């Protein structure tokens, strides 16, 4: 087995913005309603990994102003999401009728481009597990590995969230859950600057 696969699995399975958001989506909206979010994350992570393998990651790492700009944007977006989650109404939401809705594919894809954990894992994979292939071949290899493995990681966390919803019996339990998740999400914004 390619050591890259284990690295990608461990890098994406451990807590970070996507794990927190997908677990919360599964709990609040249910597994089925979270499928577009799941697909968007898997696709967005694959695109980011492919761009990194193609050499875009090296450009981001080389120019501090670009890296700082992306870091600031990432931190601001993550903190905004954490605030929205902190303020969320308690309870399970209906994806059809509520103002609060699960993420769609496009929003989840775009978020990956400023997700600090995704950049960290894809940059580490490209530099540590690259095979010295032509840039296009390396990009395809990383994109397929990240998208394929991450799809299963995303399915797991959204399903875990849906199961967790059964344990959240009252508004107080829901409020504690969403605020713990919001705090974890806000803490992940700190990763941007480490």
At residue 134, the pLDDT reads: 80
Dihedral, 98, 100, 101, 106 alpha carbons, nearest 10: 140
DSSP 166: T
Q: At what angle do helices 64-86 and 17-29 cross, to 10 degrees?
A: 30
- How confident is the prediction along the chain (194 residues), in pLDDT tens digits per residue? 688 999 999 999 998 999 999 999 999 999 999 999 999 999 999 999 999 988 876 777 678 887 788 778 878 888 888 888 888 877 766 544 445 789 999 999 999 988 988 988 998 888 877 777 787 888 899 999 999 999 999 999 999 999 999 898 888 988 999 899 889 888 888 776 66
pLDDT in tens, 48-63: 999 998 887 677 767 8
The residue with tokens 């308690």 is: 90
């Amino acid at each position: 087995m390619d050591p890259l696969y284990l690295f990608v699995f461990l890098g994406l399975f451990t807590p970070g913005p996507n794990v927190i958001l997908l677990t919360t989506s599964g709990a609040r909206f249910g597994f089925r309603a979270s499928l577009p979010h799941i697909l968007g994350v898997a696709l967005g992570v694959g695109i980011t990994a492919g761009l990194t393998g193609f050499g875009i990651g090296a450009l981001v790492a080389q120019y501090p102003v670009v890296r700082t700009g992306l870091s600031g944007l990432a931190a601001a977006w993550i903190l905004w999401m954490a605030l929205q989650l902190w303020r969320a109404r308690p309870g399970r939401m209906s994806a059809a009728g509520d103002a609060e809705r699960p993420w769609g594919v496009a929003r989840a894809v775009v978020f990956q481009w400023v997700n600090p954990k995704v950049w960290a894992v894809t940059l580490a994979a490209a530099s540590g597990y690259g095979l010295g292939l032509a840039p296009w071949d390396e990009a395809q290899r990383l994109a397929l590995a990240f998208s394929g493995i991450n799809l299963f990681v995303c399915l797991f966390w959204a399903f875990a969230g849906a199961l967790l919803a059964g344990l959240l019996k009252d508004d107080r339990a829901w409020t504690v859950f969403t605020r713990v998740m919001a705090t974890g999400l806000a803490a992940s914004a700190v990763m941007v600057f480490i």
